[in-house]
């Protein structure tokens, strides 16, 4: 039996394959999350201020950002938003000429940035100005028409009063009606 065990042991050892070598461990650097630009938080604060109707505060946030933290690209984006907010009709400081000037100043900067948006806003301001001018003309024409109508009504009232007075004078002259 011992010989059998030896044969079994030799067969088992002969069939036994050595374990494959382990793959080498390669050190990978730990990925880092991208650092969020301060512009993201600034824009969120600006949008919150605008949603609450605080346009002056929104503008102040943008000015402070441009002075302190902005990269050149972020400063251009901030300038765009300032021009955009000046063109918002909900802004209590909205003046079409000032909004147009702010957008034109922004558009003249180099390198060109948000050119399509700026051009669209300038065209919308032009349409808005033409509508305002048209309304002013219509209002003036309506006022003139109303004034002419009022003058005509007054003339007719005066003429009616003169006619009534003449009729009263004729009635008195003719005297009381005869029975």
Beta-carbon contacts of 85 under 8 Å, excluding residues fewer than 6 positions away, are 46, 50, 55, 58, 59, 62, 91
| Res 91 pLDDT > 80 | yes
> What's the whole-number mean pLDDT along residues 22-51?
86
Looking at the domain assignment, is residue 10 inside a domain?
A: no
Task: Give residue-wise pLDDT tens across range 150-160.
Answer: 999 999 999 99
Looking at the domain assignment, is residue 20 inside a domain?
A: no
The pLDDT value given to residue 164: 94
Looking at the domain assignment, is residue 118 inside a domain?
A: yes
> What's the whole-number mean pLDDT along residues 81-106?
90
Please give the full DSSP string across 45-103, using - where no structure is assigned.
HHHHHHHTT-HHHHHHHHHHHHHHT--HHHHHHHHHHHHHHHT-TTSTT--HHHHHHHH
| Res 142 pLDDT > 70 | yes
In this prediction the pTM is 0.59
Confidence of residue 9 (pLDDT cuts 50, 70, 90): low
Looking at the domain assignment, is residue 32 inside a domain?
A: no
How many domains is the chain partitioned into structurally? 1
Looking at the domain assignment, is residue 142 inside a domain?
A: yes
As given in the structure block, the two tokens for residue 89 are 């009709």
> What's the whole-number mean pLDDT along residues 27-41?
82
CA dist., res. 150 & res. 159, Å (int): 14
CA dist., res. 39 & res. 105, Å (int): 22
| Res 1 pLDDT > 60 | no
Confidence of residue 111 (pLDDT cuts 50, 70, 90): confident
The pLDDT value given to residue 173: 86
Range of the domain at 165: 39-174
| Res 177 pLDDT > 70 | no
As given in the structure block, the two tokens for residue 115 are 């050119």
* Contact between residue 46 and residue 61 where contact means Cβ atoms under 8 Å apart: yes
Confidence of residue 60 (pLDDT cuts 50, 70, 90): very high
Looking at the domain assignment, is residue 23 inside a domain?
A: no
Looking at the domain assignment, is residue 130 inside a domain?
A: yes
């Amino acid at each position: 039996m011992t010989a059998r065990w030896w044969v079994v042991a030799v067969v088992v050892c002969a069939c036994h394959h050595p374990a494959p070598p382990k793959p080498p461990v390669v050190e990978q650097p730990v990925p880092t999350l991208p650092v969020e630009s301060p512009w993201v938080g600034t824009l969120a604060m600006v949008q919150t201020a605008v949603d609450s109707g605080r346009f002056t505060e929104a503008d102040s946030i943008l000015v402070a950002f441009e002075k302190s933290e902005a990269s050149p690209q972020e400063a251009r984006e901030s300038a765009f938003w300032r021009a955009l907010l000046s063109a918002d009709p909900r802004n209590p400081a909205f003046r079409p000429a000032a909004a147009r000037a702010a957008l034109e100043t922004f558009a003249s900067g180099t390198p060109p940035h948000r050119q399509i948006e700026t051009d669209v806003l300038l065209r919308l301001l032009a349409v808005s100005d033409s509508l305002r001018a048209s309304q002013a003309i219509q209002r003036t024409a309506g006022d003139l028409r109303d004034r002419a109508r009022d003058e005509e009504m007054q003339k007719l009232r005066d003429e009616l009063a003169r006619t009534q007075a003449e009729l009263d004078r004729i009635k008195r002259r003719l005297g009381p009606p005869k029975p």
